[in-house]
Structure formats: C-alpha cells, structure tokens
Structure 1
Amino acid sequence: MSNVYEVSLKDLYEILADVKDKEIVIDAENALLGRLASCVAKLLLMGFRVHVVNIEKALVSGDKRMVIESYKLLLNVKTHRNPYKQSMKRPRNPIAIFKSSIKRMLPKHNWRGKMLLKSVKAYIGMPKEFSGKRIIKIAEVNAEKLGRESVISVLEIAKALGWRGVE
C-alpha cells in the first residue's frame, strides 16, 4: 500500500482545500474508534463524502472485558410494549458499530443528520476500487502514537456480540 499517507489534522485540512471531487478515503487501521468518528463527522459537516476502509481494525481503548460487557449491556435493553418479544435494534457488525458512533456526533432531530450519515461508507478490508486512490491515515487518532496499551478491535467486539461475518 504505497498510496497510504499519514498526515496530521492540520495538514489534512490543507490537503482538503485542494480536493475537487469532495471525496476522501481514510484508513482506520490502528485508529481509536471515537477519535476517528469525530474526525469523520467533522469532514461530513464540511461537505465531504468519506470512505473508511479497514474498519474492522479500528480499536477501542479500555480493558477488553469491560468494553465487551458495556456493549453487551445494550443488548439486554427491552421495550415496555412487549419486553418478551421485542427489544431495541443494536449494531453487531463492525460497519454498524462505526456508523452508530458517527450518528451520535451528527445533528439530531432534523433531516441534515440523516443526509450526512448517508455520505459515509465503511468497508471491511481494502476494496479494489480504492487501490489507485490516495488513502489517508490521521496521525492524531493512531492508538500506537497515543500510547494506548489496553485496546480491543472492533472485530473482536462484533464477534463477542454474535456477529458471524468474514474473518
């Protein structure tokens, strides 16, 4: 992957001034999920279409057992209407986990947040259509550079929640 560039956020905004088609590809490998989601939400609010690749390799900081228990806690929430049959839909695959974290950072209660969420696409692995494009890694979201030691990948969280997708 010779076309992967690691840039800081300040340099990223300078690069984005030159982008004509308002489309950007971001690599999520070793990126902290919340920090990556906030950067993607900011890019969406600026009017860019964002493609995020290697989303299964994104990381969540914290003790593995505690992170998985906090995600599983959301699965046990039931409704008052019929608690034995119905419960709230919760994301289980890596793409839905990432998109739900972005959704919380976009405008709520109006049409703009829904339209912005449609402008982000997340992919498991590296699709062939992005092989010739410039792929950006944001330095401020990298878990190794921030010194995070206890981390868990989004793929491990998804498997703990019951997702049976690709390896």
Structure 2
Amino acid sequence: MPEVPEPEDPMVIDASGLVLGRAASLIAKRLLQGQKVIVINAEKSVVTGSRSEVLAHYTAARARGSVRSGPHYPRYPDRIFRRTVRGMLPHRKSHGRTAFERLEVHMGVPDELRSASPVSLDRARPRPSLEAALTLEDIARLLGARLL
C-alpha cells in the first residue's frame, strides 16, 4: 500500500499593513498549489483608495440582492478577507472549493499561533507614497460590525 505523504506545514501570513487585493491574489495562488494558508491580523490589512470610494464600493456590495437569496456580503474583517480570496479562486469547481477550504483567516493572533513565525509578503506591501488607505477594521466598523 502506498504511503500517504505528510501535509506541508501551513504557511502563516501576517496581514498587518498588506494591501488586501495583492495579498489575496498571492494567497489564492498558494492555495491552488495545495498549500494550507493561515492569515493572522486580517483586520489590519489595508484597502487603497479614497475613503468615500472604498466605502461606496463596500456599502453597494452589501446592498446588492436580498436577505433571502443573496448574494451575501460579509461585514466582519476576517470574512471580508475570505470573500476577497474566494473571488480569486475558481470556487464553483471542486479544486477551487478544496483550495478555499485550506484557508484560515483570523482577527488578531490566536494563542496556538503565537509561537509561529509569520511569512512576509513583500510584494503585497503598499507603495511608500500611499496616502489614501483604510484598514479592514475601519471598513467593518462603518458597515456595522460590532468589534471589541
């Protein structure tokens, strides 16, 4: 009987200060390659653009559809992060669905991951000249999330 290969250690990524879309695309690629990814500090990732445009985008998304039939857009930072990564995966196909299941997103740092050394995604860092950006925590509060 063939041996089952050991799964790779999960990649732990600290999302503090990372641009949401750039980080999500890099994470989606890793997930499709079969790697498990754990994201910490999701609420500290940033969305670039003017405050009014970013808020208009997220409030329009939440207003779309109906409560019963959807589409259902999240309000909390970890769920917004997951939804953004899902948009970059072929989530309606089986390999995209299994890739999405390999993603874990946390607000803050859970106790079991305090000793883990997070990987840095330098390609997802904002440009130094960036002035207009909102954190996911700010967006979530403005959408009505009840954060501590």
Report the TM-score when normalising by structure 1: 0.78
1:8-157 to 2 correspondences below 5 Å = 21-79=8-66, 86=68, 88=70, 89-143=72-126, 145-157=127-139
Q: What do the CA deviations read for 1:26-58 (whole angstroms, capped 9, x no partner)?
A: 000000000000010011011110000000000
| CA contact 2:62–2:74 (8 Å) conserved in 1 | no
For 1:108 and 1:56, the matched residues in 2 are separated by 23
Q: Which runs of 4+ in 1 moved over 3 A?
A: none
Paired residue secondary structure (2:134): strand
> How far does residue 107 in structure 1 lie from its aligned partner after superposition?
1.5
Residue number in structure 2 paired with 1:163: 145
Of residues 117-126 and 128-137 in structure 1, the stretch that sits farther from structure 2 once superposed is 128-137
| CA contact 1:44–1:50 (8 Å) conserved in 2 | yes
> How far does residue 75 in structure 1 lie from its aligned partner after superposition?
2.0
Q: CA RMSD in A?
A: 1.6
For 1:95 and 1:33, the matched residues in 2 are separated by 11
Paired residue secondary structure (1:52): strand
> How far does residue 87 in structure 1 lie from its aligned partner after superposition?
5.6
For 1:125 and 1:157, the matched residues in 2 are separated by 16
Q: Structure 2: 5+ residue runs without aligned partners? A: 1-6
Task: Report % sequence identity.
Answer: 30
> How far does residue 128 in structure 1 lie from its aligned partner after superposition?
1.8
For 1:87 and 1:157, the matched residues in 2 are separated by 24
For 1:26 and 1:120, the matched residues in 2 are separated by 11
What residue identity is the alignment partner of 1:131? R
**Residues 146 and 43 of structure 1, relative CA distance in 2, 3 Å threshold:** farther
Residue number in structure 2 paired with 1:16: none
Paired residue secondary structure (2:12): strand
For 1:103 and 1:70, the matched residues in 2 are separated by 17
Number of residues of Structure 1 aligned to a counterpart in Structure 2: 141
**Residues 30 and 114 of structure 1, relative CA distance in 2, 3 Å threshold:** same
Between structures 1 and 2, the one with greater strand share: 1
What residue identity is the alignment partner of 2:142? A
Report the TM-score when normalising by structure 2: 0.88
For 2:69 and 2:143, the matched residues in 1 are separated by 15
